[in-house]
Amino acid sequence: MRALALTAVLLVLAPQAFARAKEVALAPLPGAAKRTLFATPEDTLDKKPCVGLRVAASVDCRDRKTHFKSNEWDHHVWVPYIRDVGGAYVGIGSDQGLTLIAAARSTFAWLLDYDPAVVLINRVHRALILSSPTREAFIAQFLPKNKAAAIATLERAYKGSPERALVVAAFTRYRAGLRWYFNRVQRERRELASSHWLHTDDAYSYVRRLFQLDRIRILKGDLLRDRALVGIGKASHALRMPVRVLYLSNAEEYWRYTDQFRKNIRGLRFDSRTIVLRTRTNRRANAKLLGRYQYTVQAGLDFQQRLADPRVVAVWSILKHRARAFPDGLFTVGLRPLSRRAMRSALPGWRPRRAKSAALK
């Protein structure tokens, strides 16, 4: 009953979640705050790739495939729900986090992942963004002719770091794939509603400014372990910094909720404007259903409340309560869906992807 009561309140207050946050003038973090944010522990990333299982990942092993680039091509449908909410960002994965940070105007961000290669790619992005005054210059660093110069930049950026050789190796291995990915991002600007962090000078400049001010921390983190997220939760409470966006991708579909996962999420400082973003694999991928994934927006306090209920055993226990939204393939939990008109207004110039390209990875 408590969960239902909270959901009812959130549904009434839902429009407030979409109000623009007051623009915050970014400045270097005070010394004490920076120490708090960067001193939290990381997880040990020692899970082996899953072998011989029917699923890609589980509680005890990680996906055999390294997701060094996002294969979720419809994050723009989330943008109207998180635009300018401010606060902190916590999310897994690679550069999709930068898109969400730019849309939310997050003032601090934790980028974490349980795949060591993804953590390294995030370090590649950081160094190359800092050395590139424009988004065009950043993308150009992945061209074959600029490979040597980019490697030199990475070696300078991580001089003295025990991860320097690993960062360079990750760039060398995934450079061509990232070049393809960034090129597709540019080609599909209208299909993505100009929402990617590399689509506008404003979004790129915002992300770069956060890196310049040490307001984005890259760390080793596993949603199911007891160090990284626990530390982030303690830091968010210590600094009274609300986590306004939590991005989980489709990680939840591979395991039931563990006690530690519940503690990790419930330990984060959420407020009435916090939004949780997740995807789930479509059984039958097509353009009408947003390609390979379903996209869900959930009120953060609603998620924390449901995790306190032992009957909520996994993500499908939550998705039973979802409401259909626009476009097809988008759902909300604990929030009233935005109208078709509101979504169209929030995504000017958006051209939905045609079926023939929806299945592209």
DSSP for 137-201, written as a single string = HHHHTTSGGGHHHHHHHHHHHTTT-TTHHHHHHHHHHHHHHHHHHHHHHHHTTTTTTT-STTT-H
pLDDT at 354: 62
**Using CA atoms, how far apart are residues 228 and 34, in angstroms rounded to an integer?**
16
What are the domain boundaries of the chain?
A: 2-115+201-358
Query: Do strands 291-299 and 330-333 pair parallel, antiparallel, or not at all (unpaired)?
Result: parallel
pLDDT of residue 25: 76
What's the rounded Cα separation, in Å, for the pair 223 and 160? 29
Cβ atoms of 73 and 291 within 8 Å: the answer is yes
Q: How far apart are CA 320 and CA 148, in angstroms?
A: 51
User: Residue 276 pairs with which residues in a beta bridge?
Assistant: 246, 298
CA distances from 56 to 120, 195, 234 (A): 21, 29, 31
Name the pairing type of β-strands 243-247 and 88-92: parallel
Lay out the sheet containing 88-92: strands in order across. Answer: 216-220, 108-113, 88-92, 243-247, 275-286, 291-299, 330-333, 323-324
C-alpha span between 124 and 163 (Å, rounded): 11
User: Which residue, among 137, 145, 308, 267, has the nearest Cα to 208 in the 3D structure?
Assistant: 137
Per-residue pLDDT of the chain (361 residues; tens, 9 = 90+): 444 444 444 443 443 344 444 556 789 999 999 999 999 999 999 999 998 877 788 899 999 889 999 999 999 999 999 999 999 999 999 999 999 999 999 999 999 999 999 999 999 999 999 999 999 999 999 999 999 999 999 999 999 999 999 999 999 999 999 999 999 999 999 888 899 999 999 999 999 999 999 999 999 999 999 999 999 999 999 999 999 999 999 999 999 999 999 999 999 999 999 999 999 998 766 666 788 899 999 999 999 999 999 999 999 999 999 999 999 999 999 999 999 999 999 998 888 766 444 333 3
Question: What pTM value is reported for the model?
Answer: 0.91
Residue 39: count other Cβ atoms within 10 Å of its Cβ: 9
Q: What is the pLDDT of residue 5?
A: 45
What pLDDT, on a 0 to 100 scale, did the predictor assign at position 54?
75
What pLDDT does residue 21 have?
Answer: 47
The whole-number pLDDT of residue 282 equals: 82
Residue 328 φ then ψ, to 5°: -55, 135
